[in-house]
């Protein structure tokens, strides 16, 4: 019996209620709300930055840290958050993370100074690092039937993937209609509602008894913080910047120590058996590189809409709505497509569609029209992204043993966190600083097309491996 089959069999045996939750709609709504809230807070703040700067008299450097403080804490503690759920209980850690996130959101909205806002954003990131991996890992625990689980994962990933665009729209509406502070206050009632309903609706995982991997916790957190900071810094500095090089070196050393330590740990923070299954390992690679390409679509088209076409921030958000809708539609459809075609085929189709979208964008020009030049790539890219995110997430989370569900979820979301930062660092370098900014965007989209094609190659490899 293969490693994947053994894990799937073990998962079925350890789940006491194969019928799933009594109120599956409510459970999925609560978990998806967690995912949406976490993703929203990664983008919703962008539109509010001008008001924040004026209200708190914040410097440009301070504004950067309003964004980066959240990203660093979120990415740095992701592995720790997921594994804590395995050991303590996924639902328990989720609720703790929600409390931290809700309190931090309230502090952000009430912040009287730049320092308080940045500190509260870091605390938000701590809460997000607990909520994100545990909310996803609770899906296979609560939805044990294959069809129901694939459908739930499709809805969850679709809502999470579409949340970035929704964040731009909500941020613009709240900032214009009320105040930038409501960008953060809006989280509080959502957190309160989930805290009220989740204990009675969401089934808890079986805690894994044993000692906590202190060495793994320290090295993984340090490595992730160093890596994320290095990638974030490349947005303003070159790859040759001494701080970037030192951070990358520190991350490499700490990751090496982590891998060596985890081989001997009795209850490792990062179980290396997660990477022994070829399909799962290629899924992690896909979720590292694909977001790297897809992030470029949003990053450069945002500049295009505002810099070339003089769109407002709110109008820019609405311009991305077709992509957001198609991400959600494709992710939901994936639950029906995966049982018929297999996750590798579905992911391959998504990769091909997204690669075509990136190639289409290499023809970008300053005098193009939205319907003729951009609607097509947004539709293709959004639909392709939904297929990839949902199918790869399902293939990773469906065949993992229950005792390492949180670890698998944290690795999955950690690579998704690193991917966009890595992609933007590479694509911004590829774009350069030409006299014509649109020419730089075209160069970046050529590179993005190459990166987006990688999941198609992996899907073909996995398909052949399974049929040979």
Distance CA 364, CA 134 (A): 40
Lowest mean pLDDT among 223-227, 235-239, 299-303: 235-239
Note the pLDDT of residue 288: 86
pLDDT level of residue 76 (50, 70, 90 thresholds): confident
Q: What is the CA radius of gyration of the chain?
A: 21
**Average of pLDDT values for 434-438?**
85
Residue with tokens 């090295």: 219
SS3 per residue for 438-461 = HHHHHHHHHHHHHHHHHHHHHHHH
Distance CA 320, CA 315 (A): 9
First to last CA, the chain: 16
| Domains of the chain from N-terminus onward | 22-209 (1.20.1250.20), 213-266 (no CATH), 273-468 (1.20.1250.20)
Average pLDDT of the residues of the chain: 84
Instruction: Supply the pTM of this predicted model.
Output: 0.81
pLDDT tens digits for range 228-286:
888 878 767 788 899 999 999 999 999 999 888 888 877 787 888 888 888 788 888 88
pLDDT tens digits for range 170-182:
877 887 778 889 9
26 has a pLDDT exceeding 90 = yes
pLDDT tens digits for range 438-468:
999 999 999 999 999 988 887 777 665 554 4
Distance CA 161, CA 268 (A): 30
189 has a pLDDT exceeding 90 = yes
Distance CA 311, CA 317 (A): 10
pLDDT tens digits for range 384-410:
999 999 999 888 887 787 778 888 888
Distance CA 69, CA 126 (A): 10
Whether 351 contacts 181, CB under 8 Å: no
Distance CA 112, CA 175 (A): 17
pLDDT tens digits for range 87-104:
889 999 999 999 999 999
């Amino acid at each position: 019996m293969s490693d994947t089959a053994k894990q799937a069999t073990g998962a079925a045996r350890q789940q006491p209620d194969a019928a799933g939750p009594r109120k599956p709609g409510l459970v999925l709504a609560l978990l998806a709300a967690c995912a949406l809230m976490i993703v929203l807070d990664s983008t919703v703040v962008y539109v509010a930055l001008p008001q924040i700067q004026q209200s708190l008299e914040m410097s440009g450097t301070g504004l950067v840290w309003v964004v980066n403080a959240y990203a660093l804490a979120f990415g740095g503690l992701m592995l720790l958050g997921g594994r804590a759920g395995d050991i303590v209980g996924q639902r328990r850690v989720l609720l703790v993370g929600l409390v931290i996130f809700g309190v931090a959101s309230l502090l952000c909205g009430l912040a009287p100074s730049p320092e308080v806002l940045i500190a509260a954003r870091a605390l938000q990131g701590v809460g997000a690092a607990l909520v994100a991996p545990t909310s996803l890992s609770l899906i296979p625990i609560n939805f044990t039937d294959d069809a129901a689980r694939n459908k739930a994962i499709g809805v969850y990933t679709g809502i999470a993937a579409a949340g970035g665009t929704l964040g731009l729209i909500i941020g613009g509406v709240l900032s214009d209609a009320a105040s930038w502070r409501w960008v953060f206050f809006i989280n509080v009632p959502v957190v309160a509602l989930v805290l009220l309903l989740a204990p009675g609706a969401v089934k808890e995982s079986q805690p894994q008894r044993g000692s906590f991997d202190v060495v793994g916790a320290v090295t993984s957190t340090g490595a992730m913080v160093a890596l994320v900071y290095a990638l974030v810094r490349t947005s303003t500095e070159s790859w040759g910047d001494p701080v970037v090089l030192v951070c990358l070196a520190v991350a490499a050393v700490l990751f090496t120590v982590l891998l060596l330590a985890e081989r001997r740990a009795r209850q490792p923070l990062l179980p290396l058996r997660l990477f022994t299954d070829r399909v799962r390992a290629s899924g992690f690679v896909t979720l590292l590189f694909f977001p790297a390409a897809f992030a470029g679509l949003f990053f450069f088209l945002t500049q295009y809409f505002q810099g070339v076409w003089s769109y407002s921030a709110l109008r820019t958000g609405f311009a991305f709505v077709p992509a957001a809708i198609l991400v959600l539609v494709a992710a939901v459809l994936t639950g029906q497509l995966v049982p018929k075609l297999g996750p590798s085929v579905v992911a391959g189709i998504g990769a091909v569609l997204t690669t075509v979208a990136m190639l289409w964008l290499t023809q970008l020009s300053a005098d193009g029209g939205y319907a003729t030049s951009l609607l097509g790539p947004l539709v293709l890219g959004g639909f392709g992204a939904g297929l990839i995110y949902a199918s790869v997430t399902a293939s990773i989370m469906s065949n993992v043993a229950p005792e390492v569900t949180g670890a698998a979820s944290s690795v999955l979301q950690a690579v998704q966190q690193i991917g966009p930062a890595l992609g933007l660092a590479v694509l911004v370098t590829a774009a350069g600083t030409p006299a014509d900014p649109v020419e730089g965007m075209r160069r970046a989209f050529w590179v993005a097309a190459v990166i987006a094609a990688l999941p198609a190659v992996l899907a073909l490899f996995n398909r052949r491996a399974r049929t040979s």
